[in-house]
Amino acid sequence: MPIELKVPEVGESITEVQIGTWKKREGEGVAIDDSIVEIESDKATVELPAPAAGTVTKILKASGEKARVGEVIGYLEPAGSAAAAAPPAAPPAAPPAAPGGQPVVDVKRTGSRVDIGSVQMSAGDALRVMPAAARVLGEAGVAASAATGTGPGGRVTKDDALGAVAAARAPVPVSKLAPAAAPPARLPGAREERAVLISPIRRRIAERLVEAQQQAALLTTFNEVDMSAVMALRNKFKDVFLQRYGVKLGFMSFFVRAAVEALRAVPQVNAEFRDPHIVYRDYADIGIAVGGGKGLVVPVLRNAETLSFAQIELGIADFAKRAADNKLKLEELQGGTFTISNGGVYGSMMSTPIINPPQSGILGLHAITDRPVAIDGQVVIRPMMYLALTYDHRLVDGREAVTFLKKIKDTIEDPTRLILEV
């Protein structure tokens, strides 16, 4: 008995989804737990696994179509079921043979027309065309009038029919072809357009960004940080760190730890405007913006204040891998209190990031570039990075925003502060 493939629950308040890519086609076999189809919601993309080994027999919803949670979108025939394929159609019976060995051609008269096999001709043509010739002409779709009879009484023989078929299939000389119309003049450059259906995640990203712009009082403040100390510390211990924990020591763990210290110092940035209250938090759930297969997603490091450098790096690496495969869980994308976005990995020099509501702040990191800076009265070249903090001015005043960003700068430029928590 076929198994119904139904849209699974993908999260609270989500009742409708969009069918993504079908990983298996009709008639294709699957093993148990094989991914059959992607289910896209406005929060995440999940995969529907095969509940049993068998064969996908029917797909009811194509990619891009909407479906409701619990709706049947296909059927799976379990392996070893009694379903049998329809017996193959019997081949057409060969026409009976005449006593002389010549096939008998079915002749039907309709008015002044005569059907001989699969070729239709006038009654006069039917009398002069031999049955074997009629069969050749009918199979090739060539009119009997195209053949010149060379048999007794001008009858069309099989050889005459073969010659007519060959002549009909011969290429027409170029000299006899009508002159082709000149192609329309092409404008320089490609002018093609492609319409791609908006994914639920991309639609939700757009809605959230517009919501943030319309409902929050956004303001961005900037600073710059000398990355020399962090780069020296990273280069000194990166090999040992990799050997011990199995993950590379990156810059993001330093900034997560620095953000935790800054959020402790300036709790307004870690708060939420929940009218008529402001909700302050004594924990830090920090979202890390990563590029996923369906767009930018922000999985959350829970209780980042309790995590070590290795735990942070392992968590981020796991998020990045599963985001690329669209395998992040819905609950991993919800509930962050602060976000860090690293546009520097793409070469961004400076930007004004938009907060992820209802959060009150987002830290933007940018590319590290060697720039001349004045230190102790001397101009030196240092690896510098611009920092940007976008915040909700309803909760965070300019003084708190600048203090927060200055705390990040001081901690990164002297990472021993992370050990002493000062």
Write out the catalytic residue numbers. 393, 397
First to last CA, the chain: 67
Residue 314 near residue 247 (C-beta atoms within 8 A): yes
Pairing of strands 66-68, 119-122: unpaired
Which are the contacts of 172, defined by CB distance < 8 A and separation ≥ 6? none
Measured between alpha carbons, how far is 300 from 284 in angstroms, rounded to an integer?
10
Q: What is the number of alpha carbons within 13 Å of residue 211 lying toward its C-beta?
A: 10
Over 211-238, what HEC string results? HHHHHCCEEEEEEEEECHHHHHHHHHHH
Pairing of strands 3-6, 72-78: antiparallel
CA dihedral 305, 310, 312, 318 (to 10 degrees): -150
**3-class secondary-structure state, position 152:** helix
- Residue 368: how many other CB atoms lie within 10 Å: 17
Measured between alpha carbons, how far is 279 from 305 in angstroms, rounded to an integer?
18
Measured between alpha carbons, how far is 319 from 332 in angstroms, rounded to an integer?
9
